[in-house]
Structure 1
Amino acid sequence: MEKPDLADTELTFCRLRTHQCCFILFNIALFHVLLFGADLVEEYFLRGLSTTYTDMRMLDVRERARKLDMSPLKPNISKAYILSSSDACIHKEVFLLVLTFSHPENASRRNTIRQTWANATDIRGYSAVILFVLGKPSSETTQLEIMKEFQEHRDLIEGSFLDSPKNQTLKTTKAVEWSVTFCPGARFILKTDEEMFVNLANLVDYLLSLRTRLENVYLGRVVHHEVPNRDPQSPNFVPLQIYPEKYYSDYCSPTAFVISQDVARMIYVTSPEVPLSMPPGVFVGTCTKNAGVTPIHSSRFSGKKHIQYNQCCYKFIFTSAVSRDSQLVREWEEVSDGKACTLLETYYGLVSCRVMTYLDGFKHLGVDALQNEALHFAD
């Protein structure tokens, strides 16, 4: 019986090793595609195409926005606010104006934000102004507390409307109105909610990279092809006569988005034509669409999602939803400790926080499913 040729054995072994290596590399590539591919595909398909402004209506909106002069209206507009930090932008070259939407009763959260991510007025040598936007509280006691808070911090804008779920779109229009009236020199405006952790340094770095594009910026996590709520029993019901289209226009999640000053002026000009009964994010998206502005998608905005904490991951993202004050303080302290992340640490951070975020999502999904099954069983 012939002995197997040693050369043939080695060749077979090499082929086997090659197949194993290819299989391992394929699985590594597949893992990264599944992990990050959704964001890449999302950013590709939601990337705004350049718009040709041939629509006379859009041209008219842009011309009115360009010529907008709020100076004669300042005295009357001032009456629309119980409190207004109208001198916040005076004698300053403001790069980023941050308008944080807050509930009147949440003074504790506002203080936590002041002590953490909003504790910065100079970022990379560029000026930032951070203010809180509120409506009226239902309690006189709370109103007195807000007045004391304003005297101490001078960073509140309080509209003369009741701060309620139904008035959030009105709150948005008043924030835009305040911006173009009292801070018309701000290059960019970030609208965010008090539930968000915001990495201002990362965001400013990104905005500085847009040196060739300082206008027509409407940046955030884009919501694509959302179907209007047609349930008359729902508090978010939108009737056909208000919005007859099958899908909403693409818009950025209202949890956090950035607009350039010219877009803020366009929103102000087009806002009277859009019903206030629309959801806040959809309202802004419709106003920008009427002006020919396309939203720019970035997966570094989390939307309503909480991104599982990892220091190097949080040094890359722009926002993450954080529910507890203590959690916000802890995450901010760790992010701002001054320790730089190496390329490998950044890679590990992005992978681990993405995996943990997915697992966290599945966990909540499982809890919701169990709750639904329990309710079904009880019925």
Structure 2
Amino acid sequence: MQLPCCKLRTHQWCFLLFNVLLFHALLFGADFVEEYLLQPFQGTYTDVKVLEVRERARKLDMTTARGNITQQYAISNPEACSGKDIFLLVLVFSVPDSADHRETIRRTWANRTHVKEFLIRTLFVLGSAPSLSTQDTVLREAELHGDIVQGRLIESPNNLTPKTILAMQWVVTYCPIARFILQANETAFVNFATLGDYLLTLRRHKEDLYVGRVVHQEMPDRDPSSPHFLSLNQYPDKYFPDYCAGSAFVLSQDVARKVFVASAGVHSPVPYDVFVGLCARKAGVAPTHSARFSGGRHIRYNACCYQFIFSSADVGDDQLASIWQDLRDEKSCSLLETYYGLVACKALTYLDKFSFFSTGIIRDADSHG
């Protein structure tokens, strides 16, 4: 018996094939172009100011300044990296009153301390606590876990740029041996296994690495009524520099040094992730795009998809626990399962942007509940 689908004429098969190819081009095309065609080349630096930043970063020695720098931190935790050969230093930006969420992160994705035999060290970076009782909780937490670094600056969304500078200062002062630095928001999920494998198998030179989901040619907000308004005096350029979205990105140690040195000459009140991009540009470092970082987007969960990606944004505590359990069970995903997992989570993630789709799912769920 011949199946009905086998009776299709040639032009009908061509039409189906065209639509399948178009679907994949729309779903993966932009990521493919950015991943493989828009990567930075090893630079040849002729700009005197760029060369100056790079040379100052190369010669940077914070040994004599450690005593003064310690005063900038309520909890400096100077021994957190002492005597350890750290492959990946993870700085999770958290807020003082998120103790429960930090504990969830410790139990889940930050519970992994090695990739193969290479050491991962996770620290939480905080600003000042809003009350003495919260600060007491933070101090007890720091004593118990030894993974808190707290700067003496007001914890606020408006202070993420100085918080980033403090974090980079801490790295170059107290952890200059870490090969790579991952900066992540506390609402992110990070897959250390896949990210570690990626960093271990890098074919490019290990210096000048600044990798994440790159944002290209974003325009500053020129609407005076917007809370993110930037005047021409504050930022005169038409576009922001290419930068890695702040949910999660990785720097090599030399780039952390270059960003810290360059930050002294960058004063524009841009978002903190754009600020890192400005500092990197000032140091002659171009960001590297990887579609396996989600940027600011939450990726719809699929076990085989999450075994492949590096990060996802806005993951709640309950979902973190279930994701971590799946990863611990080490379900083996075949190439085909990984492919379909990526197609499913990517398609649903993009569809999430359409409110009518999300609303429809919720209504369907309610009607069948």
Shared fold per TM-score greater than 0.5: yes
Asked whether the 8 Å contact 2:351–2:357 carries over to 1, the reply is no
How far has the Cα of 1:264 moved from its partner? 0.5
Asked whether the 8 Å contact 1:137–1:163 carries over to 2, the reply is yes
Aligned residue number for residue 258 of structure 1: 250
169-178 or 234-243: bigger deviation: 234-243
Aligned mates of 1:191, 1:286 — CA distance in 2 = 16
Aligned residue number for residue 225 of structure 1: 217
Q: TM-score, normalising length from structure 2?
A: 0.92
- Choose the corresponding residue for 2:323, options 306, 313, 331: 331
Paired amino acid for 1:313: C
- Choose the corresponding residue for 1:294, options 283, 286, 297: 286
Query: Residues 90-239 of structure 1 correspond to what in structure 2 (within 5 A)?
Result: 90-239=82-231
Aligned residue number for residue 355 of structure 2: 363
Aligned mates of 1:164, 1:345 — CA distance in 2 = 42
312-321 or 44-53: bigger deviation: 44-53
Aligned residue number for residue 72 of structure 1: 64
Asked whether the 8 Å contact 2:352–2:358 carries over to 1, the reply is no
Q: TM-score, normalising length from structure 1?
A: 0.89
Deviations 1:114-136 (A, max 9, x none): 00000011111110100000000
Aligned residue number for residue 11 of structure 1: none
Aligned mates of 1:63, 1:25 — CA distance in 2 = 54
Aligned mates of 2:274, 2:337 — CA distance in 1 = 38
SS at match of 2:110: coil
Deviations 1:196-217 (A, max 9, x none): 0000111011111115411000
**Does residue 1:34 correspond to 2:26, yes or no?**
yes
Deviations 1:262-287 (A, max 9, x none): 00110111111111622101110000
Q: Which residues of structure 1 form unaligned runs of 5+? A: 1-13, 368-379
How far has the Cα of 1:34 moved from its partner? 1.7
Q: Which residues of structure 2 form unaligned runs of 5+? A: 1-5, 360-369
53-62 or 19-28: bigger deviation: 19-28
Total equivalences in the alignment: 354
Aligned residue number for residue 320 of structure 1: 312
Aligned residue number for residue 52 of structure 1: 44
Aligned residue number for residue 307 of structure 1: 299
249-258 or 355-364: bigger deviation: 355-364
Deviations 1:132-184 (A, max 9, x none): 00000221111111011111111000000110111110000000000010000
Paired amino acid for 1:41: V
23-32 or 280-289: bigger deviation: 23-32
Asked whether the 8 Å contact 1:322–1:328 carries over to 2, the reply is no
231-240 or 76-85: bigger deviation: 231-240
Paired amino acid for 1:92: K
Paired amino acid for 1:88: A
C-alpha spacing 1:15/1:252, structure 2 compared with 1 (3 Å): same
Asked whether the 8 Å contact 1:136–1:158 carries over to 2, the reply is yes
Paired amino acid for 2:155: D
Aligned mates of 1:160, 1:364 — CA distance in 2 = 44
**Does residue 1:282 correspond to 2:274, yes or no?**
yes
C-alpha spacing 1:157/1:269, structure 2 compared with 1 (3 Å): same
Paired amino acid for 1:73: A
Aligned residue number for residue 87 of structure 1: 79
Aligned mates of 2:270, 2:345 — CA distance in 1 = 34
**Does residue 1:63 correspond to 2:55, yes or no?**
yes
How far has the Cα of 1:18 moved from its partner? 3.0
Paired amino acid for 2:135: Q
